[in-house]
Each structure stands twice: as structure tokens, then as C-alpha cells.
Structure 1
Amino acid sequence: MKSKTLLQLVFFMIQFLCVPIVGAQNAYNPMELKEDFQLFRTALEEAHPGIYRYETKSSMDGSFEAIEKQLHQPLNQQEFYKILNPVLAKIGCGHTKLIPSEDNGFMYYYNTDTLFPLKLFLYKNKAYVRYSYDTDNKLEPGTEITSINGIDMEEIIQGLLNNLFSDGHNQTFKYYELNRYFNALFSNFYLDEGKSHHEFNITYKHHGRKGSMALPSVSYQKVLEHDAAEQNSTPYQLEFKNAKTALMTIRTFWPDGEKYNFEAFLKESFAEINDKNIENLILDLRGNEGGKDAFGSLLLSYLVNVDFRYYDKLVVATNEKFSFVDHAQLPEGYDELRALITQAEDGEFRWEHNGNLRVQTPQEHPFKGQIYVLIDGACFSVTSEFCAVANHLERVSFIGEETGGGYYGNNSGAFAIVTLPNSKMKLGIPLMAYYTAVKDYEFTDRGIMPDHPIRNTIKEVLTPGDEVLDWTLGRINKK
């Protein structure tokens, strides 16, 4: 059994491992930095099953060597983090993470008392105001921000994208994270810890007029209060749009047996859908970052009427004991699990103990009507796996934007959490490479492409309603 979600990894790294809070930072001497870097590189090369999935070994070696050349003078943790992180992002694995601290929530690592005070919508190297965390700020929603502290917005966006993680060369998941965590990311990579950042100087333009102003910073707590109001806590629901069309929304594949039961939800929902003779099913997976892999194959079993394969193979880096075990938190029973790893004829090390490697059978009474799946850049991990296999079986139509997870799979499953001995940063390494049972897809390093692309602009973001859903309902009505 395996659960695959960024939330799981981050919760484990932050809550259970008690990372020291980042306050006033000490500087580490070059010897300490090189010791941490060597462990960082060794752990990735020994344990990461997808380190060369999208980048060649020579390319990664060149990046590692470039890091080592920068470690010739003392650096504090934030400075060291900014050197390591972009090389880690280069691997093209959205489940790999470097966590410097537990100062606040995920992504909020440095300068959290003085955050940028605007919630932005970022798209195609431009940034627009959605709202302000400071009620005294009078900037209108839709105003374009052209620079912050003298740095052009395009330069900021490209710099942050280079530090964000996604599968392969996908960009939609990076933009999803950028829109969600811009305030944290700007503080991590463009503000120096320990210096005063109580206001931000911006330039902007709106309705053809240009201007500039200084904005006071806000605290993490104020950002958290505003953003929490945007979250919908209901994980899945079913509604009927009319006598022929049902809308099923699944916001997560993360199990919550105490309050919600996913298996029961699917069983009851599809029984009702079939009883009502529904012809069109809209499956809304937008914002769903993943969860338990068995839930993905279970959902698909309600949508097909033939046997199908879900995973092609699961690959691990080695069956040997890691040299860095003294610095790592490994899965429970790690040594016993290693003994179950087999080596294939081609030399790959395989993990054969996953139910999704078996041929999957459909439900007794699956849905046979038209299926429209709404997707966006947040569709990741298990959600992308489901979408990839459904696409391969030619069972659904996709509407929205490219998924954040890779079409041919991802690296996830169990994790090794490696503590760098001097800087105390935590490196989260997924230990399994998952390969979906698909083939002949044009984009080998990208996500699932929509059949009908619809990408929100700032106009749609600020306008009440749901353009993607409305477009889908309109298409169904025309048919």
C-alpha cells in the first residue's frame, strides 16, 4: 500500500523530524558546506530512482560540480539553500523536496514576519493583483505589478520557476505553486534573512496608467487567515446538473476514513448515476494533488468495461544498503523491505509488491456514457496517473489545462529523509519510480494535455463563475 501526496511528505519532514526553527542564521564555513553538499549529492545519486529520468548523468554531474565551486566562502542557511535548490529542481521530480525549517507552513521558510502584502495571479511572466492582505491598500484587482524592489516582474517569475519542482519539464504545476505561494517564495529567494524588509517598493500599471508606491509588509498569520478562507474542505461530492448530466468533484485521493469514505462514495454515487440513466458525467479533478494510488485505479474501474493495466513497473535505485543511513530516516522495516527487491533481466531493480501492477477488472456495472474530465496544473501524482491511463484507454475527454504530474509516471512512494549534518536542512528523496501502463504519447516529459485547452486569465479569475465548467456544460447541451 502506498499513499502519494506532497502533503504526506511535507507533514513527515516538518512535523515528525522537528527541524530547528530558522531565526538568526549562523554562517557555515566552506568545510561544513562541502560536507553537507557531499552528503546531498551522495544521497541523491544512491537513492533517487529518477535522478536521470529527464536529465542525463553528464548534465547532473555538471550541475553538482558547479555547486561545489561556489562553496569557497562562509554561507548562512538561506544562502546555501538558494544554491542547492535549483539543482534539485532540475531533476524534474515534483515529489523531491528540500525543507530548511519548520518556521511556519510549507514554503514559508525565511522572512515570514515581513511578507509581500498582495495576493497575485501570475501567468506568462506577468503578475496581476487579486486582492491585498492589507485592508488599507487601495490597489484595484486586475492591476498589473511590473516590478518589486526594482526587480522586473518577468525576472522574478523566471527566477522562481527555476526553483520550483514538477515532473519532467512541465510548467503548469510550477505556476500552480507560484500562484499559491508567491509571498513565501519571494521572501525565500529575493529577501535576505536578518535585514529589514518592512515595506516593498512596487511599480504598476492599470488602464494605461503607470505608477509606483511603497507597500507595508504583512505577517504570515495574516496571509494564512486570508488564504484559508479559499479552501474547500469537502473532499468529494456528487450533484446532478440536469436529468442527463452529473458532476462528480474529487478534490483529493487522500483517505479520510473517519469522516469520509471514498470507496462508499464511489459505490453509492455510481449506483445513483446508473439508476438515473445519466448520459454525461463531468469529473472535476482540478486542484487534486493526489493521495492513495489504489483510489486512482478504483475510480477508473467504474468508468471502463474491459480489464486494464494501471502500472507497468515500479523501479528502485538499488537493493544495496545506503551509505548515508546514519543521516537518514528510512521507511519502517527498511532492511526487510530491501530483501524483497528483485532484479530484472535488464538490470533494473524492481518492486513487485503493489496491487496496481496486477490486471485491474472493471466494476460489475460501470458507467458507459460520455465522460468529461476537468483538469489543471494542480492535478498531480495519483491524479495524473489516473488521467494518463484513462487517456490511454481512450475513455474520456479532457478540458482545462495540462496536468502537473507526468504522463508516464512519477517518483514517489516511500521516502528517505536525509538530514544535512551542519545546516540541518532536510532532503526528501522518493524511493520508487512509478511507470504507468501507457505508450505512444507524444509528450514524454510532460503531463496530460487537454483535448480542449482552457486557461484562465486574470479576467476569468476576477469574474464570478466557472468558465471551464460552463464551457463543458455548453458543449454537452450542443450535443
Structure 2
Amino acid sequence: MGKFNVISLFIFLIGCGLQSSNKPSNKGLEQVNSIPSELLAQDLEMLQFWIHEAHGDPYRFTTKKKIDELFDQHIREIRNSGSMTEYEFLGHIFPIMAELRDGHSQAFPSDLDNIDGKVFLPFRIRFVDREPFVLKNYSDKPLSSGMRISKIDGEDADMFFNRLIPLVHRDGNIESIRYRRLENPMYLARMMKALGLSKEKHKIEVNDAGITKEYIVYPFDQMTYDRVSTVRESSTDKTIKLTFKKYGGSEIPIVTIRSFNPHYFNGSYESFTGQIDEVMGRIDQSKADKIILDLRNNSGGEDSYALYLLRYLMDKKFKYHGEVTFQKDDYKFLPDGKHWDIDPKCFRPNQKGTFDATDHLWPDGTSALGSFVPFENRFQKELVVLVNAFTFSAATEVAAILHHAKRAKILGEETGGSYIGNISGYIPTLRLPNSRIQINLALISIKRSFFGEQFTDRGVLPDILVEPAIDDILMKNDVTMTEALAL
């Protein structure tokens, strides 16, 4: 949704006293506390209750039977274990959250920002056509950028990562984001540690121009990894940027929007709309015949912001949302439920036994319900939209609505957000009482007006799929932009 995606409320419970013992764990290669299995089984039962009772649409992309069977399986395994470390327990939660198939709902360790132990591979990975390559090397071994990784610890790399891929949280059955998330060093380190794949050293086999080479590399702890891998980002990059690119005798305007999050606009809707007005005014003055809208790496934000942009781009009356519903009219059963006193004017009961959102859910004048007419000064010529796996939430909504209306040509890779709508809105961060593991749980079900018509479990699939080769990535050749300019 947008309105409350940017408000992630951290709710801290007073946890049960843990009976702990210091014993070695092969998950983190350090001394860690072990939690009695009965307390962890209670945590899983609590999570099962939250998902069934509070999640906005828990069985949109799966079934209650599958979810319940997974809970039963993992509760049995946990009870038979005697005790587990936190990360061993996470190894049981990840499959459940992945089966939920909701990209806004996920599990985190109790300490969100730190991972104990030497668990970071000393190089970054980039997947190209599902094959892993070395993107950047931080080890003391000659692992050159661009080498294809063929084996890890004697196991074929595709088999190694295929153990992780199914556990990556995502909307529906979207493929692209599964690989992109594993390119994130923190995400990969968490997954490897939870599945017991972290080791004191790793044997890496790579293919270097047809020659097989093997190296022993030693993983880093987080402090070392952060120190060697820090990249200074430019502070001058704007969230909304308009540039003109000369191509074929024309000046083509490129509108880059990196977020719809109010944080980047001083929390002001008027700041966002003012910048969009200025950009579209300059494009109108340029008499351009084509716009390239770059939504790559835009993780979403306020739907009212995305809706305002669409009114400049759509060529006919349209709906932004089809249905917006809550499961409940009262969420006080969630931990610290006093935070969930939702104004009764924000919803009304429907015939399905759930609750439809009303205009009061949004600030005055910014409701995303109903039908919308494009602005009179809208752009009416050719529109090309660039997307990738990190085009998510409200940014995917823009791409999906333009695609369904056949208003734009979409280039890039499959979006990370669902084509038919997502589960988002209010997203509390809840702590399981015994393990202290954090759970983001999305409470509002959102469906596009074209829900169920096509791509029912996928993202926006581009009209033209563009996946750069590893050499293009290393040379920073933007082949997607090049393709868009040439259309």
C-alpha cells in the first residue's frame, strides 16, 4: 500500500526467562545461548496464531493446509531437538515465512543490525541468468571480478544456492527478487548461518576464462566486512531527477524516481507533488515525443504519491486500488495492542466477513480509492518504464497499472512486487516472546482492479526482458537504458 509502509513500529515484549547454556553452535562458529525447545515451540504457535488471525491475506498465494502442515512439521522437529540457538530456530521460521509468499512480511534475528561470528563470504556475488559470479573480491585470494563460481565447499554452486532460494521471502512466485536478495551480503550471511552453511573456511571453485581454479577463503566477521566493503554513496543524488539524453537527433527526457517514501520529501505530500509538477512542466516545454520513466530500485512508499504521478501518465480514467481490506476491526490481541486502535471510520464491514477500507484511511484529499481522471496537462505520447527486482510495492503498482492499461512499454527484469496487488499497509514489527526474533507482519490486503486477470502470482513481467551480461555489470554499461533509448 503506501500509507503505513514507512511506519514500521517496533514492539518490545518482556520475554520469558530463558534457561540458557553456553555450548558451541556450528551455525555461527561462536559460543551462543541455547533456548529450550518447548519455549521455541510456543513461539512458533504464537506466530501461527498471528498469521492466521492478523495477516491481511495469508492464503492468497498458498493454502491454509500448506501453512499448517509446515507449522506442525517444524514444531515437531523443534520439540525433538531439546534446545536450539536463535539462528537454528530461524532456520525453521524462514521456510514458513517463505511459504506465506508475502514480500512485506519476513523474519529477522533479535539483533537486526549485527550478526555474530565469521559468517560473511569475503566477496560479493552477482547472479546473471541464475549463475553466480564474483562481483567484488575482498579476500587475499586472486578471485577476480567476473569469475563464475562453479562450486562452494565441493558442491555445485547451483545446488548450494538452490537450498537457499526457496527460503527467500517474496510476493507470490516472483523469481527475480529471490536471486537479488541473496546478492545482499547481510541477507546471505543470515541465511547461511540459519541453515548451518557457515564454516571456518570455504573452498571456492571458479571458472576463469575456461580454466578451473580452487581457493580456500576465510569468512569475515561483520565489523571486518563492513570495513573492507564500505562504498561511499553520493549525497547529491536526488530522489526525483530529470535528465535529457541526446539520441538520434532528439533530446529524450529521463525521469528517475528512486522512492515514493515521504522520508525523502521531508514528510510532505506537497513537496513530492511540487517536484513532479516541476518535472512534468519542463517536459511539456521540451515538446518531447517520449519519456523514459526509471523506477529501478524504487522500493515504494506512499500510494498517494504514486497515484499523483499516474495522473500525469495515464490516458484514460483508471482505478488505483480495487479492494483494500482488513481481516479484523480490532488488533488489540497483537502484542502491545494499544498501538492498533484504528479509527473505526477507516473501515466498514463487508459481506465476506472482513472489513473494507474507507477514504478515512488516508490523509485528507489523498485517498487511493475510487476512479481517477488524468490531469488535463498529462503527457500523451510514448512512455517507456524501466523496472527491476527492486521495483517494489507502490513502484510496482505504477508499473502494473500502466502495463495493464497498455499505456507503457516495460523494460528490464520482473518486478519484485506483485502484479495483482500486495499485502502491506500497517506493518507492525512483533517480537516472539521467548526467542526475541522479530516478525514483520503486513495487515492490509490490497488487490488491483484487475486482480486475477493475468500474472496472478508473478510481478510485472517486462515486455522486453533485459538482463545485462557480467561484463556489462562490471563496466557499468546500462544496457536497459540503451535499449529504452533505441525504441
TM-score (norm 2): 0.87
User: Contact 1:94/1:165 (CA < 8 Å) preserved in 2?
Assistant: yes
Counterpart for residue 473 of structure 2: 461
Residue 66 of structure 1 and its aligned partner are, at CA, apart by 1.1
Correspondence for 1:287 among 297, 306, 323 = 297
- Equivalent runs, 1:42-81 vs 2, <5 Å: 42-71=49-78, 72-73=80-81, 74-81=83-90
Equivalences for residues 71-470 of structure 1 within 5 A? 71=78, 72-73=80-81, 74-102=83-111, 104=113, 109-111=115-117, 113-134=118-139, 136-181=140-185, 183-191=188-196, 197-224=199-226, 226=229, 228-229=231-232, 233-242=237-246, 243-255=250-262, 256-258=264-266, 261-323=271-333, 325=334, 328-330=335-337, 332=339, 334-337=340-343, 340-353=346-359, 354=362, 355-439=367-451, 441-470=453-482
The answer (yes or no) to whether the contact 1:19–1:102 under 8 Å persists in 2 is no
**How far 1:458 sits from its partner (Å)?**
1.6
Q: CA deviation at 1:213?
A: 1.3
Residue 372 of structure 1 and its aligned partner are, at CA, apart by 0.3
Between the aligned partners of 2:330 and 2:127, the Cα distance in structure 1 is: 44
**SS of the residue 1:36 aligns to:** helix
1:37, 1:231 → 2: CA distance? Answer: 43
In the TM superposition, residue 219 of structure 1 has moved relative to its aligned partner by 3.6
Aligned 8 A contact 2:421 2:451 in 1: no
| Contact 1:133-1:218 within 8 A present in 2 as well | no
Relative to structure 1, is the Cα distance of residues 192 and 120 closer, same or farther in structure 2, using a 3 angstrom cutoff?
Answer: closer
- Measure how far apart 1:35 and its partner are: 1.1
Provide the secondary structure at the position in 2 that maps to 1:147.
Answer: strand
Distance 1:415 1:257, change over 3 A: same
- Matches of 1:330 and 1:473 in 2, distance apart? 51
SS in 1 for 2:313: coil
Whether the 8 Å contact between 2:402 and 2:408 is mirrored in structure 1 is yes
- How many residue pairs end up in the alignment? 457
CA shift, 1:157, in A, is 1.3
Provide closer, same or farther for how the CA distance between residues 69 and 174 of structure 1 changes in structure 2, counting only shifts above 3 A.
same
SS for the counterpart of 1:443 is coil
How far apart are 1:2 and its partner, in Å? 4.3
**Distance verdict in 2 for CA 1:331–1:309, change over 3 Å:** farther
Between stretches 95-104 and 272-281, larger displacement belongs to: 95-104
CA distance in 2, matches of 1:404, 1:272: 31
Q: Contact 2:126/2:133 (CA < 8 Å) preserved in 1?
A: yes
Asked whether the 8 Å contact 1:133–1:222 carries over to 2, the reply is: no
Report the AA paired with residue 275 of structure 1: Q
Q: Quote the RMSD (CA, aligned, Å).
A: 2.6
Give the deviation of 1:147 after TM superposition.
2.2
Instruction: Give the match's secondary structure for 2:293.
Output: strand
- Cα shift at 1:254: 1.2
* Alignment CA distance shift 1:231-1:342 (3 Å): farther
SS at match of 1:167: coil
Question: Could you say if the C-alpha distance between residues 443 and 305 of structure 1 is closer, same or farther in structure 2, counting changes exceeding 3 Å?
Answer: closer
| Structure 1 position 54, deviation (Å) | 0.7
> Structure 1 length as normaliser, TM-score?
0.88
Distance (Å, rounded) in 1 between the aligned partners of 2:41 and 2:410: 47
Distance 1:351 1:337, change over 3 A: same
Equivalent of residue 29 in structure 1, options 36, 48, 58: 36
Q: What is the CA distance between 1:339 and its match in structure 2?
A: 6.8
Deviations along 1:354-404, whole A, 9 cap, x unmatched?
400132232231111100001111111001111111112221110111111
Displacement, 1:429?
0.8
Q: Which piece of structure 1 moves more, 200-209 or 367-376?
A: 200-209
Do the aligned partners of residues 173 and 183 (structure 1) sit closer, same or farther apart at CA in structure 2, a change above 3 Å counting?
closer
Gaps of 5+ in 2: 16-27
1:395 counterpart letter in structure 2: R
Q: 1:274 to 1:417 in 2, by over 3 A?
A: same
Give the Cα–Cα distance (whole angstroms) in 1 for the partners of residues 14 and 395 of structure 2: 30
CA contact (8 A) 1:54 1:168 kept: yes
Query: CA separation in 2, counterparts of 1:259 and 1:32?
Result: 41
Residue 81 of structure 1 aligns to a residue in which SS? Answer: helix
AA matched with 2:39: E
Contact 1:18 1:102 in 2 (8 A): no
1:350 aligns to what SS in structure 2?
A: strand
Q: Taking structure 1 as reference, are residues 183 and 39 closer, same or farther at Cα in structure 2, changes over 3 Å only?
A: closer
Alpha-carbon spacing, 1:68–1:464, altered in 2? closer, same or farther (3 Å): closer
Counterpart of 1:371 in 2: which secondary structure? strand
Deviation at 1:471, TM superposition (A): 1.2
CA distance in 2, matches of 1:43, 1:377: 28
Please list every run of 5 or more consecutive structure 1 residues that lacks an aligned counterpart in the other structure: none
* Structure 1 contact 202–214 (Cα < 8 Å) conserved: yes
Identity of aligned residues (%): 24
**In structure 1, C-alpha distance between the alignment counterparts of 2:70 and 2:188, rounded to whole Å:** 28
Worse-superposed segment, 94-103 or 213-222: 213-222
Give the letter for the 2:380 counterpart. K
Distance 2:13 2:281 in 1: 46
